[in-house]
């Protein structure tokens, strides 16, 4: 049995929730601990957490975690959500200098290299810099939740707060989003890849565009994720694999610091106090 222990975790991203029989709905969270080690934290019923525990991206938290059982990916850990303490947030000063320094040790030169590393070491989280990105939008084969999934989502827990009971139902995004991009390997010609995006922020952007632009949502959506990101951002993909299919990669998070010629580095990377 895994032993729980406290770690400080820098939150990098979380995936859009999915229905869960045990937890009603869950997200997968990617983070770095205070030693700079990658962590995949699951399951996290984020929308069901007390408001004071709903952490943000690039925020340090402290929580009890234990190595996941039934998931031999080295980064996978379970979390005691009741133990979550929010500490402090890393800002965007100096063109995201401190944020970039935390993730830099996990930057991989190409998608081929990140897959080769997985085969060699089993590691299943890492960052790559794509080029020539193109956003693909496809209608989902399943545009709404199944009756079984809806049944999981509508259940209330015995100890739910009033805030949780009044939450809006989790909506199914009726589209799937992908990036097609080029990645170089060992100085050779670029290779084109296509991977699905599961970043919660991307799905939240979809719902905002639906709210603000109605049937014209796709124009604003593409403007953000393709035009703006290509022209003004140094786009980085946080890649991760699926539990059931270890060789199937997803874009689980988007990192988008501004494009700059040089980024001033901090002298050291502080870890927040308790």
Average pLDDT, the chain: 91
* Cα 115 versus chain centre, distance: 19
Helix (H) or strand (E) holding 230: helix 229-232
Least confident of 52-56, 182-186, 220-224: 182-186
Give me the residues paired with residue 63 across strands. 7
Residue 267 above 50 pLDDT?
A: no
Helix (H) or strand (E) holding 116: helix 111-121
pTM: 0.92
Q: How far apart are CA 145 and CA 162, in angstroms?
A: 25
Residue 268 above 70 pLDDT?
A: no
């Amino acid at each position: 049995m895994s032993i729980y222990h406290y770690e400080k975790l820098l939150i990098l991203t979380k995936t859009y929730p999915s229905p869960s029989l045990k937890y009603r709905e869950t997200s997968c969270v990617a983070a770095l601990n205070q030693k700079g080690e990658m962590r995949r934290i699951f399951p996290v019923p984020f929308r069901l957490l007390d408001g004071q525990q709903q952490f943000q991206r690039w925020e340090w938290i402290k929580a009890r975690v234990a190595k996941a059982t039934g998931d031999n990916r080295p980064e996978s850990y379970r979390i005691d959500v009741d133990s979550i303490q929010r500490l402090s947030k890393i800002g965007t000063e100096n063109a995201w200098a401190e944020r970039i320094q935390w993730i830099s040790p996990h930057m991989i030169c190409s998608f081929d290299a990140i897959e080769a590393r997985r085969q060699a070491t089993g590691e299943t989280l890492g960052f790559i810099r794509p080029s020539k990105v193109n956003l693909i939008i496809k209608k989902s084969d399943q545009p709404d939740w199944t009756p079984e999934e809806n049944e999981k989502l509508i259940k209330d827990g015995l100890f739910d707060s009033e805030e949780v009971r009044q939450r809006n139902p989790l909506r199914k995004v009726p589209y799937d989003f992908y990036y097609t991009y080029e990645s170089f390997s060992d100085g050779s010609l670029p290779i084109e890849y296509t991977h699905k995006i599961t970043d919660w922020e991307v799905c939240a952007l979809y719902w905002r565009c639906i709210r603000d632009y109605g049937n014209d949502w796709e124009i604003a959506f593409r403007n953000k994720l393709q035009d703006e990101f290509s022209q003004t951002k140094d786009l980085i993909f946080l890649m991760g694999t699926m539990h059931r299919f270890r060789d199937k990669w997803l874009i689980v998070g988007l990192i988008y610091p501004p494009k700059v010629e040089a980024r001033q580095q901090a002298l050291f990377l502080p870890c927040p106090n308790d």
